[in-house]
Amino acid sequence: MKRRAFITLFSSAAAWPLAGGAQTPPKIPRVGYLGSYTPAAGGLEAFRHGLRDLGYVEGQTIALEVRWAEGRSERLPELTAELLGLKVDVLFVATSTAALVAKKATGTIPIVMVAGDPVGLGLVASLARPGGNVTGLSYFTEGITARRLQLLKELVPGLTRVAVLRIPGVAIHAIFWQETEVAALKLGVRFSLSSCAGPRTSRRRSRLRREAKLRPSSSSMTNL
């Protein structure tokens, strides 16, 4: 994913509501930024840097409204409604779950998303022709989950069991889980799934590592 390609895409989306407005005084575009986690998760500063690269000056040529769900997906509908109530011209969402909430909330405000599998999740009709009011980038590539499991088996000789953590409410995890299960069957590896969320996540991850007899450095599959 190239940052310049993304910010160019975002800039185009931000201009959609202003098209045909040459006869009226220019207004400052209002951009909504909906984060599923906290500022510590990163992303916002890179987003602001991208806007500056495009010549936008926050507070002068663009207004940025930021809301954080702090890891509580149940807050996303409320925060989305709040941003839409501020009459944002474009809404940026950085997770698949937030994108689904935003798409359900509006069919007219342009939504720029970074999501796992936008086609599989029903966010867009296709990557080539998304249609509707949703556009953005996908970090999901068909077959990548199977490849990860294959690499893990090569890194851990004699691997017979893989433990995978899934966070409830994260839409893309269901797709990753299904692909991992299919890949595990093909590779002859036992597949163990555990749903976790909140402060108990680290303890469950440690327990699953012990059960699967995997070294901590070999636990990349827990991010699926």
* The predicted structure's pLDDT at residue 138: 83
Nearest by Cα to 189 from 150, 219, 145:
150
Where is pLDDT greater, at 11 or 190?
Answer: 190
Q: Would you list the DSSP string of 65-132?
A: EEEE-TT-GGGHHHHHHHHHHTT-SEEEE-SHHHHHHHHHH-SSS-EEEEES-TTTTTS-S-SS---T
- Predicted structure pTM score: 0.62
Question: Mean per-residue pLDDT for 61-72?
Answer: 94
CA-CA distances (angstroms) from residue 6 to 2, 3, 19, 31, 46? Answer: 6, 5, 20, 15, 11
Q: pLDDT-derived band of residue 3, with 50, 70 and 90 as boundaries?
A: low
* The predicted structure's pLDDT at residue 196: 66
Handedness of CA 186, 190, 193, 199 (dihedral sign): negative
| Rounded distance between C-alpha atoms, residue 200 and residue 32, angstroms | 32
Which helix (H) or strand (E) is 96 found in, with range?
helix 96-105
User: For residue range 151-193, what is the model confidence (pLDDT) as tens digits?
Assistant: 888 898 888 888 877 777 666 677 777 777 888 888 888 877 7
Mean pLDDT over each residue of the chain, to the nearest integer: 78
* The predicted structure's pLDDT at residue 80: 98
H and E: helices and strands count for the chain: 7, 7
